[in-house]
Amino acid sequence: MSRENALINLIGIHKSFDETKALDGIDLFIDKREFITLLGPSGCGKTTLLRIIGGFESPDEGQLLFEGKDILDVPPFKRPLNTVFQKYALFTHLNVYDNIAFGLKLKKLPKAEIETRIKRMLQLVKMTGYEKRMVDQLSGGQQQRIAIARALVNQPEVLLLDEPLGALDLKLRREMQLELKQMQQHLGITFVYVTHDQEEALTMSDTVVVMNEGRIQQIGTPKRIYDEPENAFVANFIGESNILSGTMIQDELVSFAGGEFECVDSGFGEMQPVDVVIRPEDVMLVGEDVGQLTGEVTSVLFKGVHYEMMVQVGDYSWKVHSTTMQPAGSKVGITIVPFNIHIMHKEESSHEA
Amino acid sequence: MRKFLRGGYLGLLLTFLYAPIVVMIVLSFNASKSRAKWGGFSLQWYQKLFTDTAILDALWLTLRVALIATVVATILGTLAAIGIHAMKKKRANVLMSVSYLPMTTPDIVTGVSLMLMFVFVFGLVYRVSVAIGHPVQLSLGFGTMLMAHIAFDTPYVLFSVMPKLKQMNVNLYEAALDLGCPPLKAVRKVILPEIMPGVVTGALLSFTMSLDDFVISYFTSTTDNNLSMIIYSAARRGIDPSIYALSTLMFLAVLVLLIIINKRSALENVS
């Protein structure tokens, strides 16, 4: 998985805390100027992985290459990267200016240069005029901006962000997502971003790395992760899904829910047990007599943009998203186009969805 | 009736607590040496105090011990707190319990055991020095008193600083490293300023404890006397009103220090 011209290469990273395995064989490369997001539920190891890159944890096994050189022995204060911490970690005994100047003063930059750089940074994070404020007089969103400025002002090659928007309300979070993405494109810096919010990951990233239980589940573009989840965990974690047990009869033909369906996947072998994933918006409700399956609508919820209906077919209850509503109790047919049927290998671990 | 009883109870309690001190303060301004009659207001006992060389020596010793012990204990206690805070939870809890014990041990036990240890070490030093041919006979005095004060002051600093460290953002130290600050410098530039209120409170507590200590000082010094020891020996000889004056001044000094400490912690809790 390592790649020669990548900026960062993580090879075979293992890490345990006492008895619990936090990371179990991580291989990952990160390109220059990439916006890469480590996504997963809490406890999946994403923060540990970020802390290993930052130098705050060292792995039990594995290599961390930066521009081809192993930097595991380089202490955090000598690594060419900066971090935006989860709870900002601003220095409360310093004002905004001195917080941002902290790293620059350590580098012994001339005073005039420090001043111009801070001025530019405050412009970038839209906090001009706040130089003399103490950080505990700022709101959460403003503190977040200062934390980002304090990291970016050092012009790092890589910025590590550990759930930086986690403490902000939804509206502010959406605004900051856009701004962060714009900053990243404008400055041309590599961002390694940790979050448990799948929508955030899909909105901002060039590459999403889905993690669970210390392992990488899938690496890909947001679109690919969403459209082609590689296993039931990814399908379930990213958006909503109907996941059914099925059998791959032959290439491009699969049976599930008591019917046979054409699909576009091949190479699974004949009569192999598989998992079938279908997104709720890909399930089309048609007349009772023209569908591939027939069932009964059991509940209807209005969700704003669409209706969410549960349709009982045999012993499986399908989740269906549609802009047209079928009343509860009505009999409906279900059709799925081959392109929207995603076939995955059965996982060893259980996945009662 | 109930109200009266409740008020009376409180009055009685306060009288028991403060009447002796009030009597002492009043008598320290009494022109007459008698404890039974008021001979008019006078500052003569205070004047006498500041001409008595034994008392001035004791004052000087008390201040020196309190200052040096405070400085050393503040440094030791603060570093210990930072170290313990960085440890794993189990080990940290054990160490905190061990550090708590000296604060609850009766002063007399601390005093006697410190004296025993000093005497034991001095005996060893004497025997070794005789064997070498240069007999050294050490005695209990300023040095031992100072060491004892450092020993009982240090836990107070530790327990004042620890809550500040626990309140601190967990990533603060890492943020300093992340911005290019080497570890020791990060402690100095980031951790120390964050916990400074706790350090100052610890230092003030140490100074107060040292200033009015009698029991431990009594056991760990025979050649040098601090103010409490002077008062004790003077009281045994037959009391002179200048002792009231000295006690009044010590009471006021400690009172002022305690008020400062309380005000500080009240302010801390507000912010």
Please say if the pLDDT value at position A184 is more than 90. yes
pLDDT of B135 strictly over 70: yes
Mean predicted confidence (pLDDT) in A299-320: 92
pLDDT of residue B2: 76
- At residue B40, φ and ψ (nearest 5 deg) are 100, 160
The mean per-residue pLDDT over the stretch B71-96 comes to: 94
| Residue B193 touches chain A, beta carbons under 8 Å | yes
The pLDDT, as a whole number, for residue A310 is 94
ipTM above 0.90, yes or no: no
Higher pLDDT, B255 or B271: B255
A residues 222..281 contacting B (CB < 8 A): none
Nearest to A84 by CA among A158, A182, A181: A158
Contact call for B177 and A150, based on CB within 8 A: no
CB nearest to B180's CB, from A89, A92, A106: A106
| Helix and strand totals (H; E) in chain A | 8, 20
What amino acid is encoded at B99 in this protein?
Answer: S
DSSP conformation letters of A95-128: BHHHHHHHHHHHTT--HHHHHHHHHHHHHHTT-T
- How confident is the prediction for chain B on average, in pLDDT? 90
The two three-digit tokens of residue B3, written as one number: 């109200």
Give residue B5's pLDDT.
Answer: 80
With CA atoms as reference, report the closest residue to A49 among A21, A13, A77, A16.
A13
Of A56-60, B19-23, B106-110, least confident by mean pLDDT is B19-23
Considering chain A, tell me which residue range(s) the CATH 2.40.50.140 domain(s) occupy.
Answer: 243-344
Alpha helices in A22-156 (DSSP H): 46-54, 96-106, 111-124, 140-152
- Scanning A139-168 for CB atoms below 8 A from B yields 150-151, 154
Q: Specify the 3-state DSSP secondary structure of B31.
A: coil
**Range scoring the smallest mean pLDDT among A47-61, B38-52, B76-90:** B38-52
Inter-chain residue contact A83 with B190, CB threshold 8 Å: no
Which residues on B lie below 8 Å from A143 (Cβ)?
Answer: none
Closest alpha carbon within chain A to B88:
A18
Amino acid in the structure at residue B134: H
User: Distance between CA atoms of A154 and A149, rounded to whole angstroms?
Assistant: 9
CA separation, residue B221 to residues A103, A248, B152, B232 (Å): 51, 91, 15, 14
pLDDT tens, position by position, A6-33: 899 999 999 999 888 999 999 999 999 9
Does the pLDDT at position A341 exceed 50? yes
Binding-face residues of A in 57-96 toward B, CB within 8 A? 75-78, 82-83, 85-93
Mean pLDDT of the region A188-200: 93
Residue B138 vs residues A49, A110, B64, B135, B223: alpha-carbon distances, Å: 60, 57, 21, 10, 11
Report yes or no: B8 at the A interface, CB cutoff 8 Å: no
Q: What angle do CA A265, A268, A271 make, to 5 degrees?
A: 110
Topology of domain A243-344 in CATH is OB fold (Dihydrolipoamide Acetyltransferase, E2P) (2.40.50)
* Maximal C-alpha separation, chain B: 81
Indicate where chain A has its CATH 3.40.50.300 domain(s): 8-232
What pLDDT digit, counting tens, does each position of A158-182 carry? 999 999 998 888 888 898 899 999 9
Percent share of chain A, pLDDT over 90: 68
Half-sphere exposure of A82 (CA within 13 A, CB side): 23
Predicted confidence band of residue A2 (pLDDT cuts 50, 70, 90): low
pLDDT, one tens digit per residue, over A26-57 is 999 999 999 999 999 988 999 999 999 999 99
A8-232 classified as CATH 3.40.50.300? yes
What is the mean pLDDT of the segment spanning B247-270?
A: 83
Cβ A272 vs Cβ A245: under 8 Å: no
Instruction: Give the model confidence (pLDDT) of B1-16 as tens digits.
Output: 777 888 888 888 888 8
Mean pLDDT for the stretch of residues B94-107: 91
Q: What pLDDT shows up at residue B270?
A: 58
- Report CB contact under 8 Å: A75, B194: no
Average model confidence (pLDDT) across chain A: 90
Cβ of A91 within 8 Å of Cβ of B193? The answer is yes
Choose, out of A102, A109, A159, the residue to mutate when testing the contact with B (most B CBs < 10 Å): A102
Q: Which residues contact A79 (CB under 8 A, 6 or more apart)?
A: A54, A55, A66, A71
Q: What is the pLDDT of residues A140-154, one digit of tens each?
A: 889 999 999 999 999
Task: Give the bridge partners for A296, in sequence order.
Answer: A312, A331
pLDDT over 70 (residue A351):
no
Tally A–B CB contacts below 8 A: 64
Helices B241-270 and B192-211, packing angle to 10 deg: 160
**What is the arithmetic mean of pLDDT over A108-136?**
93
Spatial contact of A234 and A210, defined as CB atoms under 8 Å apart: yes
Residue A160: what residue type?
L
**B91 interaction partners in chain A (CB closer than 8 Å):** none
Distance (Å, whole) CA A188 – CA A35: 10
Q: What is the pLDDT of residues A196-239, one digit of tens each?
A: 999 999 999 999 999 999 999 999 999 999 888 888 889 888 88
Alpha helices in B40-86 (DSSP H): 44-49, 53-86
The set of residues, in sequence order, having a beta carbon less than 8 Å from that of A230 and lying 6+ positions away, is A217, A218, A344
Does the pLDDT of residue B69 top 90, yes or no?
A: yes
Grade residue A350 by pLDDT with cuts at 50, 70 and 90: very low
What is the chain A residue with the closest CA to B183?
Answer: A77
